[in-house]
Amino acid sequence: MKKFITVLIAITMLVACLAGCTKKEAAPVDDSLKGRTSFVYRGVTFNVGDKADDVIPQLGDLKKPAYKEQPCIPGAGEIEHFEYDGISVAVTQYGQICDIYISAIDNPGSDAKIVAGLGLGATADEVKKVLGEPTDDIEGVILTYADGSYSFNLSFDEETGEAFSISATDMDLEL
């Protein structure tokens, strides 16, 4: 009987040790404005500042061929634009995502959302419940949330009160 109890204790300790060794820690939650407003499209979560090489290949087929344009900022390099069904992504010459744009006008029916679950069609009240009071509120038609150089903007239809465009940009990224 003593031997049985000893074996049982040893097995229990081994199981407890293995459970402790294989326990996965939860991924840290990014509760910053940028973290809460990261975009989710086709199962990929990303935001401005991310490396385009890590994101663009995962987004699938383009709606039309990528194109480059020179911004109106002196000394800035070309910006490359990638347009998908539902979302547009702009990338700097250094390979960083510098602008993300969802629009009901350009991309009706977009399933792109932000991590907090908001997407096209959300109302200003729904946005404020999730993200809190905006940094700037232009008569409930444009809400801006800013944190340093990061800016997250939503535009709302005056008649329906629903978001028809959502965008994010970071003014500190080198163009």
Convert the pLDDT of each residue in 98-125 to its tens digit: 999 999 887 666 788 998 899 999 999 9
Residue 157 has pLDDT above 60, yes or no: yes
Separation in Å, CA 149 to CA 13, 36, 145, 171: 52, 16, 11, 5
Tally Cβ neighbours within 10 Å of residue 60: 12
Query: Which of left, alpha, beta for 21 (phi over 0: left; psi -120 to 50: alpha)?
Result: alpha
20 in a domain, yes or no?
A: no
**Count of domains for the chain:** 1
79 in a domain, yes or no?
A: yes
88 in a domain, yes or no?
A: yes
Tell me what the mean pLDDT of segment 88-101 comes to. 94
Tell me what the mean pLDDT of segment 139-149 comes to. 93
Return the higher-pLDDT residue of 125 and 28: 125
Q: Which two tokens stand for residue 11?
A: 């097995």
98 in a domain, yes or no?
A: yes
In the structure, how many helices (H) and strands (E) does the chain have?
A: 4, 11
58 in a domain, yes or no?
A: yes
Return the higher-pLDDT residue of 12 and 123: 123
Q: What are phi and psi of 95, to 5 degrees?
A: 85, 15
Burial class from Cβ neighbours inside 10 Å (0-12, 13-18, 19+) for residue 41 reads buried
13 in a domain, yes or no?
A: no
In which band, very low, low, confident or very high, does the pLDDT at 30 lie, cut at 50, 70 and 90? low
Query: Which letter does DSSP use for residue 120 in this model?
Result: T
Q: Facing residues of 12 across strands?
A: none
Return the higher-pLDDT residue of 70 and 161: 161
Tell me what the mean pLDDT of segment 125-129 comes to. 95
Q: Which domain holds residue 162?
A: 27-170
Which segments of the chain does DSSP mark as H helices, in order? 2-22, 33-36, 52-55, 124-131
9 in a domain, yes or no?
A: no
Return the higher-pLDDT residue of 173 and 21: 173
Per-residue confidence (pLDDT) for residue 171, from 0 to 100: 83
Would you say 111 and 43 are in contact if contact means Cβ atoms under 8 Å apart?
A: no
Per-residue confidence (pLDDT) for residue 175, from 0 to 100: 61
Instruction: State what percent of residues in the chain have pLDDT above 70.
Output: 81
12 in a domain, yes or no?
A: no
Would you say 74 and 82 are in contact if contact means Cβ atoms under 8 Å apart?
A: no
**pTM (2 decimals)?**
0.78
Tally Cβ neighbours within 10 Å of residue 168: 24
